Structure 1
């Protein structure tokens, strides 16, 4: 902690600190550092495990997509940590927007694959879908579709809308695109994503709880010996990851949009940056699986 303090303070004398102050940066460095270490460990362990099993299931294909998304995000985290150490961004506005877009694209793409796993297992439970009807190539086609459609929608919107304010490059700052929230189209886009995500999570969370309670009632006390129950618990775990990592960001976003102004309230900026950083904690999900936290 003292080393981090000394490093940041040494740079503050030569660089304007901006709305995210020293303590804000310390918190972000620690949080991103933990995610980088734990996430990388989880990715390596899960990749080795899946390589040994060579599973051809639909869920395994979705998990491989999540691993790929986590890996891309983890590659971008050293850029963020370096920025919060040096308090300046010298890699240009395009690189800044690219690194920044990764954290948001990771969140939404990961959310889609989490939801796909949950819906897939719910459809099987409610007899709306038979395992025999789906082969791996169906999951591959769905994955390619998600990546293609998501890229065509998300990336152009982000690069054309966010970070176009010239102050970002002039002041050698990065990851301060909340300044664009004074634009009506950006506010509408944020509110739309908030409503879509929260609505889906509430519906799936209630359905998943109903299924789990039904299975407990039917299989008690030997429910853990049944594969169907364990599969639904894993789906519930993915929903918990969404609730813990993604929902705080979107819930606080409502308050942030309504109260943020050009005066740049330091506390609001701090809480917003922490909520954004919290979305990366989902990278620890594979570590939870491989370490036995969730079986």
Structure 2
């Protein structure tokens, strides 16, 4: 026990500093990304299913970013002063954000794949009102099913009245049902992401073969790169946490691994930077296209 305590003490400062920097980056970058995307979405067709999915993803990121300052406060002060129930809500929020982001990523990619294989430029609702109704229906289901389930079932702590610690609910893994559920979630997410990646690579190869040297001049190629970008976001942000999750469940009593788990969980929050990166990618695409056009004119 003394060795474990010393090990935890040595890594605690580094872990909290890392988590503070990580979530501060998420808060600042995510907020900037949302602001930029709001301006970009004003110029797009809101009847598009893809645009509707992006708008809902923006809402998911926005709601989660409201909880990030509480995490940063805790990691800076090393003390939780907002009560046990609110700790559960803030702790559950990052998991809800991860799974909702995953759902909207998958929905957006499936819409793009259907559009590609059916050779349609866009799949749209008939009216803007339909997109609003569809989004409202999805959020009603989320609010009535997902949020209450997390609030009622998430969290198991032996220290309910403590004002010192938060986010330590690993005792829930003592239940076999919780362990099995986590294993199922890991398998589903990893399998889905790998499948989407395989399909996307197949499509990109077909597009490159079709367009050959002029691929960079076609919108179709860049559209597929954008789809690949969202898959890479899932690989980079979601893989580390879910792969380490399997190991952590078996070693949950070791507080040394607790900090690794928190850092990997924090990496999932970096998905909030996807909208900022997407905006930068769109700008880079326009600049590259302009540069190629000028080069041809000079030649």
- Range of TM-score over shorter length: 0.7 to 0.9
Matches within 5 A, 1:145-164: 145-164=137-156
- Deviation track 1:171-191 (CA, whole Å, cap 9, x = no partner) reads 542111223211122112211
> TM-score with structure 1 length normalisation?
0.85
User: Aligned to 2:181, which of 189, 199, 208?
Assistant: 189
Task: Work out whether residues 66 and 110 of structure 1, in 8 Å CA contact, stay in contact via their aligned partners in 2.
Answer: yes
> TM-score with structure 2 length normalisation?
0.84
Q: Can you give the 5+ residue segments of structure 1 that lack an aligned partner in the other structure? A: 1-16
Task: Work out whether residues 249 and 275 of structure 1, in 8 Å CA contact, stay in contact via their aligned partners in 2.
Answer: yes
- Deviation track 1:180-234 (CA, whole Å, cap 9, x = no partner) reads 2111221122112111111111111101100000000111111222222222211
Q: Is it true that 1:225 corresponds to 2:217 in the alignment? A: yes
User: Aligned to 1:256, which of 248, 263, 288?
Assistant: 248
Using a 3 Å threshold, how does the CA distance of structure 1 residues 188 and 132 change in structure 2: closer, same or farther?
closer
Matched position secondary structure for 1:170: coil
Matches within 5 A, 1:1-295: 21-53=12-44, 55-127=46-118, 131=122, 134-135=125-126, 136=128, 139-170=131-162, 172-261=164-253, 265-292=254-281, 295=285
Task: Work out whether residues 241 and 265 of structure 2, in 8 Å CA contact, stay in contact via their aligned partners in 1.
Answer: yes
Task: Work out whether residues 29 and 81 of structure 1, in 8 Å CA contact, stay in contact via their aligned partners in 2.
Answer: yes
Using a 3 Å threshold, how does the CA distance of structure 1 residues 118 and 19 change in structure 2: closer, same or farther?
farther
Matched position secondary structure for 2:67: helix
Q: Can you give the 5+ residue segments of structure 2 that lack an aligned partner in the other structure? A: 1-7, 286-299
**RMSD of aligned Cα (Å):** 2.3
**How many matched pairs?**
276
Query: Matches of 2:204 and 2:134 in 1, distance apart?
Result: 27
Matched position secondary structure for 2:42: helix
Using a 3 Å threshold, how does the CA distance of structure 1 residues 180 and 19 change in structure 2: closer, same or farther?
farther
Moved over 6 A (4+): 17-20
